[in-house]
Chains A and B, each alone.
Chain A
Amino acid sequence: MADIASTDAPAAALAIGEVDDSTARLHRNLMIGIAIALVIAPFVAYPVFVMKVLCFALFALAFNLLLGYGGLLSFGHAAYFGMASYVSAYTAKHWGLTPELAILAGTGIAALLGLAFGALAIRRQGIYFAMITLALAQMAFFFSLQTPRFTGGEDGIQAVPRGKLLGLFSLADDRALYWLVAAVFMGGLLLIYRVIHSPFGQVCKAIRDNEPRAISLGYRASQYKLAVFVLSAGIAGLAGATKAIVFQLASLTDVHWSMSGEVVLMTLVGGLGTVFGPIVGAIVIVSMQNFLATLGAWVTVVQGVVFVICVLLFREGIVGMIAKWIKKPL
């Protein structure tokens, strides 16, 4: 990232310098590869499992946008993920909203929550920032615990109808729902990719690398930080709202702080600050939880060991390692 720090040119120029043609081509091919994989996946693997992976991958992508490209470690991302899943489940079940509207409602609420929490949290940096986000997320958790009328308390909101997309297409079949989830995921991924490589994303990276310098160049750092925070919260909300429709339930697990921890783990295992890393991280962690479920108590042990190995052997994460190897950003 030294090239950013050493350039005084405005953001647009940075964008051109960052991604050369061959990298852009590689990224385009990867995107096409992901799209093809999405089409094949439900025929190879169990669709509900793939949908779960996609929801968590989108969640991790949102988190990575904030930490990897904004340099802000939020330890409370479960709040946006979980609140969005509650709103989406509640509106779909009690107001009879169609799934796409329920998902949008959840996303909107998460973005609003992100705006409120972000405005408070970005006033501090480093560990204090992380602690404030954690504290606010705990408030969201206790709100969920204490308002059984809205959230169903510890039973959660159960039996959420999957409904009909746009009031026309029934999503009761797993395959039908899968295409919606795949589209949401792909849309989220492309949006994040676009944001990272836009002038806005370049400025965020500049602020991440050297905030005083970015400020001295005339950028309003706190506005950029807030914007990326809201964006990240909104996309995390999109993932949570979609998950509520997939599993037909929203529960305290989604707002619990351990969910915030899990998303950090996914991002680190996959590769922090890489576009595609969080997807790989989500696949690894969710598969581990799923296929090792029969091992019982050993799941957490295995998870811990994987984490330790990751931190010791390849600190850049799986995708980070590959990127270093092929000498191109991924």
Chain B
Amino acid sequence: MQLKTLLAATALGALMASPALAQQISVKAGVLNDRSGLYADLSGEGSVIAARLAVEDFKAADKGIKVEIVSADHQNKPDVGSTIARQWYDQDGVDLILDVPTSSVALAVNQITREKNKVHINSGAASSDLTGKACSPNTVHWTYDTYALAQGTGGAMTKAGGDSWFFLTADYAFGHALERDTSAVVTKAGGKVLGAVRTPFPGTDFSSFLLQAQASKAKVIGLANAGGDTINSIKQAGEFGIVAGGQKLAGLLVFATDVHALGLQTAQGLVLTESFYWDMNDQTRAWSERFAKLNGGKKPSMVQAGVYSGMLHYLKAVEAAKSKDSAAVMAKMKELPTDDPLFGKGTVRADGRKMHDMYLFEVKKPSESKAPWDYYKQVAVLKADEAFKPLAESECPLVKK
């Protein structure tokens, strides 16, 4: 009922507004993510705040663009996510969907967005298929992907001296893919992979696998897992004194919010790749300060930063295209360079990949950390064209070769 009233009101509003203000465009953005489960911290309400900040910073109202933001919880279930996405597009007049962590849900939303000819700017999901096999003219993949994480952690780490690796791999397709991609990068950079062990998924006890990893004498132990598995394996590695013993732990899918949850005592020495960290320069600090005030003191994750940046670029494209027509907006998004205080200058490629630098970070020791959320020191920078898969190797049918 409420939905219909809302819809009717919006329609009525649009009808009344359009003759008076010819320029007025009203845009409805949906932030679809995990608000109750594993990824609620790194996306969740924070992503909605980030989208609102983007609208505020763009001064949309002054430019004749009316923006409304709605949000929902997909509970990491593809069927829940796809029902919401369909309903948003069909009934509620949503023009773009933002965020969407969890690859299975992201791929479903990607498909529906293409069918309904709307826009999807993905920030939360890791799957590089979104701009590969499953790429779509209606999707931009913003913040990161598994390819970039493997390049960052695998390549930069090997160049920085960590040239022998041992993998702790979650025994399912995603873990295998992470291990395979990272191994390839490590070998290419001149490193050696000494071995790998498959851990049951989902796992709670990693002790025997960690002992194997320790005994391998590899300089780097790569954690080819995600979510709860990563948290548990890092905690237990701490108990075995693996980092204290001189080996490095490399998380292939770890976020600042995970480090925050683990605490520095446990996470210290962990090496990971991200595209954004709040404490990089004055601009990111200023923005993160504003964000933290609205988000109960929590600093933004890269996913939330990506939602801000994506929303901002979308609004710029709408302004330039003077319409919210999906094809026109997507063309403008790919044509205009991106520029925002968080990710700096970048571009959106033909396959929908947003290009920006990635950073290899190491988690500080508790003694090095001077303030709350002071977690990372930068180890290396990966230029955008090294970090993301070159178009020449792309499996995306949209790329003309």
In B71-112, which residues have CB < 8 Å from any A CB?
71-75, 77-80, 82-84, 86-87, 90-91, 103-104, 107-108, 111
Q: Is there a chain B Cβ closer than 8 Å to A49's Cβ?
A: yes
Residues of A within 8 A of B83 (CB): 48-49, 52, 247, 290
Known: A48-B87, A251-B104. A296 touches B172 (CB 8 A): no
Residues of A within 8 A of B86 (CB): 48
Q: Return B395 CB to nearest CB of chain A, in Å.
A: 15
Q: Is there a chain B Cβ closer than 8 Å to A293's Cβ?
A: yes
Give 25 CB contacts A-B under 8 Å. Answer: A46-B91, A48-B83, A49-B87, A52-B79, A145-B201, A146-B171, A153-B173, A155-B127, A155-B173, A156-B78, A156-B107, A156-B108, A174-B90, A247-B83, A249-B108, A253-B79, A289-B80, A290-B84, A293-B74, A293-B84, A294-B72, A295-B73, A296-B35, A296-B73, A299-B75
Chain B residues packing against A (C-beta within 8 Å): 35-36, 40, 44-45, 70-75, 77-80, 82-84, 86-87, 90-91, 103-104, 107-108, 111, 127, 129, 134, 171-174, 201
A49 to B90, CA, bound (A): 12
- Going nearest first, the 9 A-B pairs with the smallest beta carbon separation are A153-B173, A296-B35, A297-B36, A148-B173, A293-B72, A251-B78, A253-B77, A158-B107, A296-B73
Write the chain A residue with the least CB distance to B40: A297
> Considering residues A243, A249, A293, which has the most beta carbons from chain B within 10 angstroms of its beta carbon?
A293
In A58-115, which residues have CB < 8 Å from any B CB?
none
Residues of A within 8 A of B201 (CB): 145
Residues of B within 8 A of A227 (CB): none
Please classify the interface of chain A as helix (H, G, I), strand (E, B), loop, or mixed, using the class held by over half of its residues: helix
Residues of B within 8 A of A248 (CB): 82, 108, 111
A296 touches B40 (CB 8 A): yes
A155 touches B104 (CB 8 A): yes
A48 to B40, CA, bound (A): 26
How many residues of A are counted as interface, with CB atoms below 8 angstroms from the partner's CB atoms?
33
Please classify the interface of chain B as helix (H, G, I), strand (E, B), loop, or mixed, using the class held by over half of its residues: helix
Q: Is there a chain B Cβ closer than 8 Å to A252's Cβ?
A: yes
B104 touches A145 (CB 8 A): no
Query: Contacts A247-B78, A294-B70 given; 14 further ones with Cβ under 8 A?
Result: A46-B87, A48-B86, A146-B171, A148-B172, A153-B173, A155-B104, A158-B107, A249-B104, A249-B108, A251-B77, A252-B104, A290-B80, A296-B73, A299-B73
Q: Return B398 CB to nearest CB of chain A, in Å.
A: 16
Known: A46-B87, A153-B173, A297-B40. A249 touches B75 (CB 8 A): no
Known: A251-B104, A295-B73, A297-B40. A46 touches B35 (CB 8 A): no
A155 touches B45 (CB 8 A): no
Q: Return B313 CB to nearest CB of chain A, in Å.
A: 26
Q: Is there a chain B Cβ closer than 8 Å to A8's Cβ?
A: no
Q: Return A49 CB to nearest CB of chain B, in Å.
A: 6
Write the chain A residue with the least CB distance to B44: A296
A243 to B174, CA, bound (A): 25
A49 to B92, CA, bound (A): 14
A299 touches B173 (CB 8 A): no
Q: Return B207 CB to nearest CB of chain A, in Å.
A: 22
A155 touches B73 (CB 8 A): no
A249 touches B78 (CB 8 A): yes
Q: Is there a chain B Cβ closer than 8 Å to A159's Cβ?
A: yes
Q: Is there a chain B Cβ closer than 8 Å to A300's Cβ?
A: yes
B36 touches A155 (CB 8 A): no
